[in-house]
Structure 1
Amino acid sequence: MVQHTKTGVALVGSGSAHLPIAVTNDDLSQVVETSDEWIATRTGIRQRYIATQQESLVSLATSAGTAALEMSNTQPTDVDLIILATSTPDDLFGSAAQVQANLGASHAVAFDLTAACSGFLFALVTAAQYMRTGVYKTVLVIGADVLSRWTDWSDRRTCVLFGDGAGAVVLKASDRDRLLGFDLRSDGTLNGCLNLPYQADSQALTSDKTVQKGTYQPVTMNGKEVYRFAVKRVPEIIEKALFHAGLSTDGIDWLLLHQANQRILDAVAERLNVPKDRVISNMGRHGNTSAASIPLALDEAVRDGRIKAGDVIASSGFGAGLSWGAAIFEWG
């Protein structure tokens, strides 16, 4: 393996997939007992996008990756590593290699990373470690999920929250490290608060032996517990990441959180004393897209000119596991 001399990390391109089908709150009011006002007041969500029959996790991830490579003027054959953060792969054996093939990134190694709504941030930090050791110099990190597959559309507590999406960033080796600080955490004692569980179904194999051939069940969530967890833990871990970066909240340009619930974003921003106009949110249009939410919101803000080269971003992902993390990085 060739060692490269540049061991800093620069985030140089972003991309996202564009889904054609939006499901509005009014649409959901025809499915469950709810209303646009009820959903928007409690979550900030007005609509969410869902994948069509022709789309897949791989196709969405490929679209996002292609857009990120194009923005960064990177040829697919220059990519050394692809990390696909997803909890909803097309294939339980992994979907990253299919994305690698679709992109034509023939020199890249590719693997899936599963950490649900924390997945993109965990993948970003993982990618940086390969680069800081000098092993890889160009990495594509993709966050993608198709939660519509695993949503109970008769459960109004969860079906109003989730949408499908994909976002990606390109990382390149640099003389100056733009990943300024990070911190990652997990607490498995809270695992039962948010799950997409496997449920076994016993079937006779022989006269005295059985096998467990079940399937995965729709998403379940204890919304109150997840809210309390996020409002407490996310500001703490952002402050720890800022400490590692040698910064305070006054030194950041943007707060970019996993898009779980607008009330969580507002509460975290208030605790950190970050003005609302420095909080990036696309919650109203996309809902909770799990691992896709951070890179999707990032890409929109880069493309519409809000985020500019040199801007410092404090980002945090949080969710199933329960897991949470924060990263402070400079864009461009």
Structure 2
Amino acid sequence: MFSNKLRNQITKKPYPNQSMKSNLQKQRFAAISAIGGFVPYQKRTNKDLELISDTSDEWIIKRTGIKERRILENGFATSDMAVEAIKNLAEVYHKDLRSAEALIVATSTPDMPMPATANIICQKLNLNTLWAFDVNSACSGFLYALDLGASLIESGRYRNIIVVGADKISSYVNIKDRNTNILFGDGAGAVWLEASSDEGIIDAVLRSNGSGKDFLNIEGGGSLYPFSDESFQDDKKYIKQDGKIVFKNAIQGMRDTCIEVMQRNNFSVQDIQWLVPHQANQRIIDAVGKEIDIDQHKTLTNIKYYGNTIAATIPLCIWENTTVLNKGDLILLTAFGAGFSWGASLLKWTI
């Protein structure tokens, strides 16, 4: 089908020289070598919510553990927070962003339906050669993106990948709905994944089944319920959830995947230095810790001051707690989100 000349061009194109191919094939592990974060300056406190809906500071703290959350100003978008998190990462850890080869952005709140938020981030950072795309797995998004990035590095085809979890979920919150206005806040976290001879990202168990799409969702704005439809109902543009069903499934899903990922890698909970759960609700966090029988002081949280930032919760929580992490610590990550989607990841801290 191809001429010999053309066939030679095709087969030689991926690797300019054999030494480069050999070096890439040797890059087996992916490790986090830098981390950054950003949260907006504006706060929405429980006292603020008392003035808007039928709730109280005491009731919110008792049910969720949240005291305040950060809200991004109007006129700014998810990409703006992601850019700041990436800049923070680059400044603190002296990373040259031009050496990154791919950008994976986990978000459920893109700047716009098209193009991808990752694409917009490239423009704002003046990065013109990145492979950049979005991953939408709701609150599990960062775990999905992290495992995807690690797999790309382990394949030998990529060496440096930026993975971001960012959401401006406040854009989809009905400020008068106390079932959701107490939970959600905005933020972004980013990690730099790079090829390493030492084990970093160890393994992940990730799941999705679609059975929960009616219990935690934002219906409006997609192809099924476009805003232009004459029958469109205004409440479809807001995030909605059935708290009881989500609560039950979140505990079960996070527990099961935590146990599975530890067992298949021959670790017990005593081997884990830190648990970093999705920051959805303090009661869920506590319940998951009890279910897997981990010491309470090993669980890292920041939900009290940020609330549920969707895909950003896990990287933000790690970012805020880097001072307690030691190189070689075994860290267990777990999350649960809309869909339902859920999972758990194991990694060794390599910074």
Q: Structure 2 length normalisation: TM-score?
A: 0.88
Q: For the residues of structure 1 that align with 2:339 and 2:229, how far apart are their CA atoms?
A: 29
Q: Decide which of 251, 256, 265 is 1:236's aligned counterpart.
A: 256
Partners of 2:53 and 2:178 within 8 A in 1? yes
Partners of 2:253 and 2:343 within 8 A in 1? no
Q: For the residues of structure 1 that align with 2:107 and 2:74, how far apart are their CA atoms?
A: 19
Counterpart residue number, 2:347 = 329
Q: Tell me if 1:59 matches 2:80.
A: yes
Q: For the residues of structure 2 that align with 1:215 and 1:24, how far apart are their CA atoms?
A: 24
**Residue by residue, what CA displacement relative to the aligned partner does 1:268-322 show, whole Å, maximum 9, x if unpaired?**
10111111111001010000000010001110001xx111221111001111010
Q: Decide which of 114, 131, 155 is 2:153's aligned counterpart.
A: 131
Q: Tell me if 1:120 matches 2:114.
A: no
Q: Quickly say closer, same or farther: Cα 1:248–1:101, change in 2 above 3 A.
A: same
Quote the offset at 1:244 in angstroms: 2.8
Give the counterpart letter for 2:78 in structure 1: L
Counterpart residue number, 1:208 = none
Give the counterpart letter for 2:217 in structure 1: N
Give the counterpart letter for 1:218 in structure 2: Y
Q: Decide which of 273, 276, 298 is 1:278's aligned counterpart.
A: 298
Quote the offset at 1:201 in angstroms: 6.0
Give the counterpart letter for 1:251 in structure 2: D
Q: For the residues of structure 2 that align with 1:25 and 1:212, how far apart are their CA atoms?
A: 32
Q: Decide which of 281, 287, 303 is 1:267's aligned counterpart.
A: 287
Secondary structure in structure 1 of the residue aligned to 2:324: coil
- Structure 2 residue ranges without an equivalent (≥5): 1-13, 16-20
Partners of 2:219 and 2:236 within 8 A in 1? yes
Quote the offset at 1:63 in angstroms: 0.6
- Structure 1 residue ranges without an equivalent (≥5): 205-210
Partners of 1:86 and 1:119 within 8 A in 2? yes
Computed over aligned residues only, the root mean square deviation of the Cα atoms, in angstroms, reads 1.9
Quote the offset at 1:107 in angstroms: 2.8
Q: Decide which of 99, 117, 122 is 1:78's aligned counterpart.
A: 99
Counterpart residue number, 2:273 = 253
Quote the offset at 1:190 in angstroms: 2.1
Number of residue pairs aligned between Structure 1 and Structure 2:
324
Q: Tell me if 1:169 matches 2:169.
A: no
Partners of 1:200 and 1:214 within 8 A in 2? no
Quote the offset at 1:250 in angstroms: 0.8
Q: Tell me if 1:159 matches 2:181.
A: yes
Q: For the residues of structure 1 that align with 2:98 and 2:213, how far apart are their CA atoms?
A: 39
Q: Structure 1 length normalisation: TM-score?
A: 0.93
Counterpart residue number, 1:90 = 111
| Structure index of larger Rg | 2
Secondary structure in structure 2 of the residue aligned to 1:181: strand
Counterpart residue number, 2:5 = none
Counterpart residue number, 1:34 = 55
